[in-house]
Structure 1
Amino acid sequence: MTDEIESPANGRQQKVQAAEVGLGVLKALAELTPSTPLSKLAEHLGMPASKVHRYLQALIASGFAEQDAITNHYGLGREALQVGLASLGKLDVLKVAAPYLAALRDELNQTCFLAVWGNKGPTVVYVEPSTGAVTLVTQLGSVLPLLGSSTGLVFASFLAAGETALLREQETPHLTESQRRDVELHIEQIRTNGVHQIQSLLMPGINAVSSPVFAMGNKLAGVVTVVGSGALLTGKTQDLAADRLLDVARAISGRMGANLPA
């Protein structure tokens, strides 16, 4: 009987499999943050606790996991947190949102844009213009009104009152009492639905749909908007745009590290 010799190929395969299992344990620790007992971690992974424990020891040795000395629970270590922060630091809402908005523009054939909060208010930083016969181009760098645009109202709904106070003070005196009530109604609806449809608010004959984009900690990162002619972006077409925009906004938020309720 000859001795069985492990080939280099088999050795590489085993190392790859071990790395995959280790990454799975690391991912499970992230999903069960801030810490978890070994039994719950093993159940979550569907692996024997003894096997999970071996991988945990390797992760602890490399700084990617740690064990609480009092509870004996396991959690992410300093090295894992550093990697996570470095990754999040590279996530820019414009870079993340751009391909989603391009695909949405192609799907709806309506102008789609991203706005962020600038020192003068809601500021357009990225535009995917419609390719149809009727094209509405929102200029890069345009500053939109806080209370007089769908985009602005979404910012007003999710930013801290202190951040929007100055613009509110500037714009509110120009509104009628009925318009002021409408603003508060719009804000309540936006917070409830996560998406906002409006007709001819910023410009006559122009309809829009807006939705918030969040980053890690569910902090508002920007607002995505679909805008088009009221003759085309209306009724069921506007409802469809609202549904798709909400899906896109949630997808971007997920890529940005937000943890939104289902």
Structure 2
Amino acid sequence: MTVEIESPAGGRQQKVQAAEVGVGILKALAELAPSTSLSRLAEHVGMPASKVHRYLQALIASGFAEQDAVTNHYGLGREALYVGLAAVGHLDVLKITAPHLATLRDELNETCFLAVWGNKGPTVVYVEPSSGAVTLVTQIGSVLPLLGSSTGLVFNTFLNASETAGLHEQEWAALNTGQRQMIEQHVQDIRSTGVHQIHGLLMAGVNAVSSPVFTLGNKLAGVITMVGSASVFTGAVQADAAQRLRATAQVISARMGGDVGLFAH
């Protein structure tokens, strides 16, 4: 769709068409995230690589795209992230959750984050980092494994199976019998208690606890997680953190109209 805009400088239609092409390339970068080659991007948008390259240079100059110096692949830039977060900021779950995670981080000095379900799976959209070093897997925009992370397992437990089916099948196929049995036990525990504790599942030496946040109709709105170094975030410390995280999730759920009495333990 092309919209003509009167402009004393002329070239009104060409400018709007150029903007539409640029937006199309930004959308393609999001669809091919986290990064893609020029040839694949050009094929995806159905344009000559030389034309796509010219638009990419303009997007890079404005901060909406970036190029990896090692692979030469392209991805979304910082400015695109800001725009995306501004849109996400309109979601009640982020607005309501942010101050509670800040309080929890201040009290326990462990990194806390919120993840929502994105088109690639569990996606980190808000982080309250601790003063420690456990931030490698908790960057905004990080996509976490469905069956290989505490956060993902909570999504796997409470989301409709139709939403997780594709990712679930992909990750499930890579597991052996023992790992599958462990996952099934985790799901039972999460469904029963409303909180999940894990030791080094996603990254060795990093422990995590996660809890679901519900909205009206007890629909899963997101998952809050706390991560910490296994050297200090273990045993009684982690167990206490798990209970406090679950209590925080219940407070957030209550604000959003969810049922805080879902879990008996």
TM range (shorter): 0.5 to 0.7
**How far apart are the structure 1 equivalents of 2:147 and 2:127?**
21
Alignment coverage as a number of residue pairs: 172
Write the deviation string for residues 219-250 of structure 1: whole angstroms up to 9, x where unpaired: 10000000011111100110011010001000
Deviation >6 Å, runs of 4+: none
Are 2:211 and 2:224, in contact at CA under 8 Å, matched by a contact in 1? yes
In structure 1, give the amino acid aligned to 2:165. A
3-state SS, counterpart of residue 258 of structure 1: coil
Q: Aligned runs of 1:71-86 on 2, under 5 Å?
A: none
**How far apart are the structure 1 equivalents of 2:259 and 2:91?**
15
In structure 2, give the amino acid aligned to 1:157. T
Q: CA offset at residue 259 of structure 1?
A: 2.5
The reply on whether 1:235 has 2:239 as its aligned counterpart is: no
In the other structure, the counterpart of 1:199 is 199
In the other structure, the counterpart of 2:208 is 208
User: Unmatched 5+ residue regions in structure 2?
Assistant: 1-89
**How far apart are the structure 2 equivalents of 1:253 and 1:218?**
9
Q: Aligned runs of 1:137-152 on 2, under 5 Å?
A: 137=136, 138-152=138-152
**How far apart are the structure 2 equivalents of 1:250 and 1:244?**
10
In the other structure, the counterpart of 2:183 is 183
What is the percentage of aligned positions where both structures have the same residue?
Answer: 65
3-state SS, counterpart of residue 213 of structure 1: strand
Length-normalised TM-score, structure 1: 0.64
In the other structure, the counterpart of 2:225 is 225
User: Unmatched 5+ residue regions in structure 1?
Assistant: 1-89
**Structure of greater Rg:** 1
Write the deviation string for residues 29-62 of structure 1: whole angstroms up to 9, x where unpaired: xxxxxxxxxxxxxxxxxxxxxxxxxxxxxxxxxx
In structure 1, give the amino acid aligned to 2:150. S
**How far apart are the structure 2 equivalents of 1:91 and 1:125?**
11
3-state SS, counterpart of residue 201 of structure 2: coil
**How far apart are the structure 2 equivalents of 1:212 and 1:136?**
21
Are 2:134 and 2:227, in contact at CA under 8 Å, matched by a contact in 1? no
Q: CA offset at residue 176 of structure 1?
A: 1.2
In the other structure, the counterpart of 2:245 is 245
In structure 2, give the amino acid aligned to 1:187. V
In the other structure, the counterpart of 1:16 is none
Q: CA offset at residue 254 of structure 1?
A: 0.5
In the other structure, the counterpart of 1:92 is 92
Are 1:145 and 1:152, in contact at CA under 8 Å, matched by a contact in 2? yes
In structure 2, give the amino acid aligned to 1:102. A
**How far apart are the structure 2 equivalents of 1:242 and 1:135?**
17
In the other structure, the counterpart of 2:103 is 103
**How far apart are the structure 1 equivalents of 2:162 and 2:91?**
26
**RMSD over aligned Cα, in angstroms?**
1.2
3-state SS, counterpart of residue 183 of structure 1: helix
**How far apart are the structure 1 equivalents of 2:181 and 2:259?**
32
**How far apart are the structure 2 equivalents of 1:173 and 1:206?**
25
3-state SS, counterpart of residue 174 of structure 1: coil
3-state SS, counterpart of residue 173 of structure 2: helix
In the other structure, the counterpart of 1:53 is none
**How far apart are the structure 1 equivalents of 2:173 and 2:135?**
29
Length-normalised TM-score, structure 2: 0.63
In the other structure, the counterpart of 2:153 is 153
In the other structure, the counterpart of 1:13 is none
**How far apart are the structure 2 equivalents of 1:170 and 1:237?**
34
Q: CA offset at residue 174 of structure 1?
A: 1.3
Are 1:136 and 1:228, in contact at CA under 8 Å, matched by a contact in 2? no
Q: CA offset at residue 190 of structure 1?
A: 0.0
In the other structure, the counterpart of 1:255 is 255
Q: CA offset at residue 173 of structure 1?
A: 1.6
**How far apart are the structure 2 equivalents of 1:244 and 1:123?**
22
Q: CA offset at residue 91 of structure 1?
A: 6.2
**How far apart are the structure 1 equivalents of 2:239 and 2:182?**
20
In structure 1, give the amino acid aligned to 2:181. R
In the other structure, the counterpart of 1:136 is 135
Q: Aligned runs of 1:104-123 on 2, under 5 Å?
A: 104-123=104-123
